[in-house]
Amino acid sequence: MIQVQPRSISVQRHQLTADVKSVAFLQLSRLLIAGVSLSDALDDIRDSDESRVSRKMWAQVGLLVRSGESLSQSLSLTGFSTEKTALALIAAGENSGDLANACNAVHEFYRWQHNLGQRLVTLLIYPLFSLCVLVGVVGFLLVSVVPAIEGFLVSAGGELQWHTLVLLAVSDWVAQHYIAAVTAVAGMVAILFLFARFNQQVRYWIDAGLVKMPVIGKVISDLSLSRYARCCAQLYSSAVPLETSLKLAEATVANLHLRVALSKARHSMVSGLSLADSMRSTNVMPSLLVRLVAIGEHSGQLADVLTQFSEQQSATAESSIKRMEQLIGPALLLMVGSVLLWIVISVLGPVYNVAVEAVVGVA
């Protein structure tokens, strides 16, 4: 029998994207359904994968499986040790004897992760790019263009309008302190990032503020709870105990504020309350989730109602994202146009007045 030393296995899990893992588990599910043995299916995935890191991982998984380890244990030893949701789904499939459907559930889980990540990236790229362009253009005008014509505006005489005076004051301040301002902003962002990364209390406050933001907060909440409900439904329908399903599903919620509320609800359920009453007591969960969970508990179809809630929240979030995408363009255009209009009017207005006075004086 082949002996494999688990400590000698080292695969960097973060190099395998959700999309790559989704495709691999879909292929594994289809091969198992077709009657291919697990070890041969793993070899087929290894041979067909184009990623060197992924091939190495699947080769090591195959070695472990042939040495007598279960698939879930093999995956844990080869880089999936923190993927507790995926491992729980695989383990549940092994216990129930339906490993093919368990692999398909893992495929759905990773596909959801990939699609969500792609959607959020698409949503953020355009406004962030536009904001950078706006800051760059306005900064150039304030630092280079406005100071160049400030002397002419002042020497021309006459009373300057308030918006021109504001522009000149802002331009002077930016020209003198823009390096310090950029450094201070970058430092504050870095400090906030470090505090949010290493201080759970600061991260909790930030995440709580994000959830309470208009429009964006609801999208974050809808997407997070949709992912939580879907994962919990997959685990529970795979014969994973409810408390374990809830605990593993909490790990899929990135927002700490929501994750703490879900954890409190789970502990309240363990202490004797129903899951619906536990969620209601947090004052964070949407009323739709509480009502559907109560119906699922009474009817014995909790997994089905959680899946329905996940689909409903996902559709709601999708609609909100589409509205945001449609509004971001006009909003940014209005912002850019307003700033540029302010600069143009403040600069050309006095120039126009000087030209008119000169023509009138000549006449």
pLDDT at 359 over 70: no
Is 330 exposed, middle or buried (CB count within 10 Å of its CB: 0-12, 13-18, 19+)?
Answer: exposed
Confidence at residue 15, expressed as pLDDT on a 0 to 100 scale: 61
Beta carbons within 8 Å of 134's beta carbon, 6+ residues apart: 332, 335, 336, 339
pLDDT, tens only, 290-307: 898 899 888 888 888 888
Of 25-29, 223-227, 326-330, 354-358, which range is least confident? 354-358
Does residue 86 contact residue 22 with C-beta atoms inside 8 Å?
no
pLDDT tier for residue 354 given thresholds of 50, 70 and 90: low
What are the domain boundaries of the chain? Answer: 6-112, 123-363
pTM exceeds 0.75, yes or no? no
Q: Helix or strand or coil: residue 5?
A: coil
Please give the DSSP secondary-structure letter assigned to residue 160: P
Q: What is the pLDDT of residue 30?
A: 92
What integer pLDDT is reported at residue 12 of this predicted model? 47
- DSSP for 128-194 reads HHHHHHHHHHHHHIIIIIHHHHHHHHHHT-SPPPHHHHHHHHHHHHHHHHHHHHHHHHHHHHHHHHH
pLDDT for 8 equals 40
How many other CB atoms sit within 10 Å of the CB of residue 254? Answer: 12
Q: What is the H or E stretch that residue 98 is in?
A: none
pLDDT at 362 over 60: no
Specify whether the backbone of 104 is left (phi greater than 0), alpha (psi in -120 to 50) or beta: alpha
Q: How confident is the model at residue 139 (pLDDT cuts 50, 70, 90)?
A: confident
CA dihedral sign of residues 79, 81, 87, 91? positive
pLDDT interval class at 358 (50, 70, 90): low
pLDDT confidence of residue 4: 42
pLDDT, tens only, 244-258 = 888 888 877 878 899
**How far is 278 from 285, CA to CA, in rounded Å?**
10
| Range with lowest mean pLDDT among 62-66, 155-159, 189-193, 348-352 | 155-159
**Which residues have C-beta within 8 Å of that of residue 336, sequence separation ≥ 6?**
130, 134, 137
310 — pLDDT class (breaks 50, 70, 90): confident
What pLDDT is attached to residue 253?
Answer: 82
Mean pLDDT of the chain: 80
As a whole number of angstroms, the distance between CA 245 and CA 236 comes to 6
CATH superfamily of 123-363: Type II secretion system (T2SS), domain F (1.20.81.30)
* Average pLDDT value for residue range 134-142: 80
Same fold for the pair 6-112 and 123-363: yes
pLDDT at 204 (0 to 100): 86
Calculate mean pLDDT across residues 331-346: 81
Give DSSP secondary structure letters for 279-334.
HHHTT-S-HHHHHHHHHHHHHT-HHHHHHHHHHHHHHHHHHHHHHHHHHHHHHHHH
CA atoms of 42 and 28, how far apart (whole Å): 7
For the cut 50, the answer to whether the pLDDT of residue 9 exceeds it is: no
Mean pLDDT of 121-135: 76
- Pick the more confident residue, 292 or 96: 292
Asked whether the predicted pLDDT for residue 14 surpasses 80, the reply is no
Fold of 6-112: Receptor-associated Protein (1.20.81)
Q: pLDDT over 90 for what percent of the chain?
A: 4
Mean per-residue pLDDT for 255-274?
89
**Section 135-149 average pLDDT:** 79
> Is the confidence at residue 112, as pLDDT, over 60?
yes
155 pLDDT tier (thresholds 50, 70, 90): low
The burial class, CB within 10 Å (0-12 / 13-18 / 19+), for 84 is middle
Query: For residues 220 and 59, what is the distance between their CA atoms, to the nearest angstrom?
Result: 38
